[in-house]
Structure formats: structure tokens, C-alpha cells
Amino acid sequence: MPKISNLPQDQAVTAGDKLLGSDSSGATRNYSMQQVSNFVVEQGSSHKHHQNTDSNEWTIIHNFELSSYLPSVTVNLDDGTHVNVSAFGQVKYIDKNTIKIFFAAEYSGFAYLTI
């Protein structure tokens, strides 16, 4: 088999670019970047939690059934004083379906979880 010593690089990835992979049967296949993108969007999960009452501890049950990785968490406050303001809290991953977020003061708002 010939050895490739120099492969020119694209300057940009486009939807029509191809990736070589194998399907669930093990057969080799070409996948377009658009197919990969669609798969990620369809298979990815998100959860929106609305904390209606002010609290310094939010418990969120997301039901992602995660065991190998953790969801990313974004918090936006919406408590009358703070409207759509990003916030930081201490995130504790309780189990594969539950997280808790702890704050220094009581807030209400939204938490967005993505995997």
C-alpha cells in the first residue's frame, strides 16, 4: 500500500465534507458533515429547569441517565431584581439523574443543562 507523505489541508469544514466511519453492522461508510451534525443535534439532550421560588439550593432532576459524563450547566437569574443575568453557583452531581446548585443567596431563575 502506498504511503501518503503530504496531504493538503482544507481551510474550512463544510457540510459536504466526508468522514470515514463504520455503521452498527461494522460496514465502512462515508458520512457527510451534515449527517454527523444532524445526528448530534437529534441525539443530544437538553433540559430547562425553572426555579419558581427564591432559594439558595436548586435541586434539578434531568433524567439523562448519565454514567460516563456530566451535563454542562448554565444559570440565568430571573428574580425581579436580576432579569436574564448569568450567575455562578456550586454544582454538585448527586447521581446520574440529579444535580444540585448552591448559591450564596436566594435566587429564582432558569438552569439549562446540555449533554
Q: Where do the DSSP E strands lie in the chain?
A: 18-22, 28-32, 46-61, 72-78, 83-87, 90-95, 98-114
Q: What is the mean pLDDT of the chain?
A: 87
pLDDT, residue 69, reads 77
**Distances from the Cα of 81 to the Cα of 103, 108, 111, angstroms:** 16, 10, 17
By the 8 A CB rule, do 99 and 106 touch? Answer: no
Please give the pLDDT value at position 108: 96
Task: Give the pLDDT confidence of 13-28 residue by residue, as tens digits.
Answer: 788 888 888 888 989 9
pLDDT of residue 102: 98
In angstroms, rounded to a whole number, what is the distance separating the alpha carbons of residues 63 and 67? 11
Do β-strands 18-22 and 28-32 pair in parallel, antiparallel, or remain unpaired? antiparallel
CA separation, residue 85 to residues 11, 46, 51, 57 (Å): 37, 20, 14, 17
Average the pLDDT over each of 23-32, 36-45, 63-72, 102-111 and give the range with the smallest value. Answer: 36-45
In the chain, the amino acid numbered 60 is I
Q: Report pLDDT digits (tens) over 31-51.
A: 988 887 777 766 678 899 999
Q: Give pTM, 2 decimals.
A: 0.63
Residue partners of 83: CB distance under 8 A and separation at least 6: 77
Taking a C-beta distance cutoff of 8 angstroms, is the pair 77, 101 a contact? Answer: no
